[in-house]
């Protein structure tokens, strides 16, 4: 839902402005402003990590079927097959995790900025409104789970850091 430009995000999501309350539009704006809080150097470094780990993520996804086939073909016996499968799946997960970690860090920082401006209670109510209005399909939900950390984790971090009292 954005391109790290608050104005661009709202323009791209013009329909969302009609579907949601002013609180949700403010939340989206603050979230995108939160992404920009790192400054130019921090954002540039973050994008280099995003691109590097993003490529690794896609390589892991693309290689996964081949990894499983290779595990089945290479296992010297059926007894060793689970070991080969664990190694293949573990390699894929190892390729995917850095991308997920960098996404979660970036999104958590943006969410913490938003919480610092609107508070934890309003943050919860805005997310509840978005969930009620959302009609996301399965693939969209999977992408959201990969890209965004769970709400409970963000709220836990906010409470530990004393953000958004």
Return the pLDDT at 129: 86
Return the pLDDT at 108: 93
Distance CA 80, CA 94 (A): 21
Which of 2-8's residues contact partners 24+ apart within 8 Å by CB, and which partners?
A: 2/28, 2/31, 2/32, 2/35, 4/32, 4/35, 4/36, 4/43, 5/32, 6/32, 6/33, 6/36
Q: Spell out a b/e string for 20-39, using b for 16 or more CB atoms within 10 Å of the CB, else e.
A: beeebbbbbbbbbbbbeebe
Return the pLDDT at 152: 94
Q: Does the pTM of the predicted model rise above 0.95? A: no
Distance CA 39, CA 66 (A): 41
- Given a contact cutoff of 8 angstroms between Cβ atoms, the answer to whether 118 and 16 are in contact is no
Distance CA 100, CA 114 (A): 21
Distance CA 89, CA 101 (A): 18
Return the pLDDT at 10: 53
Distance CA 40, CA 36 (A): 8
- Given a contact cutoff of 8 angstroms between Cβ atoms, the answer to whether 23 and 117 are in contact is no
Q: What's the pLDDT tens digit per position in 142-154?
A: 888 888 999 999 9
Residues of the chain with pLDDT under 70: 1-19, 39
């Amino acid at each position: 839902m954005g391109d790290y430009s608050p104005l661009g995000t709202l323009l791209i999501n013009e329909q969302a402005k009609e579907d949601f309350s002013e609180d949700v539009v403010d939340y989206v704006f603050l979230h995108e402003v939160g992404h920009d809080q790192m400054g130019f150097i921090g954002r540039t470094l973050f994008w280099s990590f995003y691109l590097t780990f993003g490529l690794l993520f896609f390589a892991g996804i693309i290689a996964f079927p081949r990894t499983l086939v290779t595990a089945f073909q290479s296992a010297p016996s059926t007894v060793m097959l689970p070991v080969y499968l664990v190694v293949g799946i573990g390699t894929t997960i190892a390729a995917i995790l850095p991308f997920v970690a960098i996404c979660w860090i970036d999104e958590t920082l943006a969410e913490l900025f938003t919480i610092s401006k609107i508070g934890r209670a309003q943050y919860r109510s805005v997310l509840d409104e978005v969930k009620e209005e959302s009609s996301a399909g399965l693939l969209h939900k999977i992408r959201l789970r990969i890209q965004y950390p769970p709400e409970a984790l963000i709220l836990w971090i906010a409470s530990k850091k004393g953000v958004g009292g």
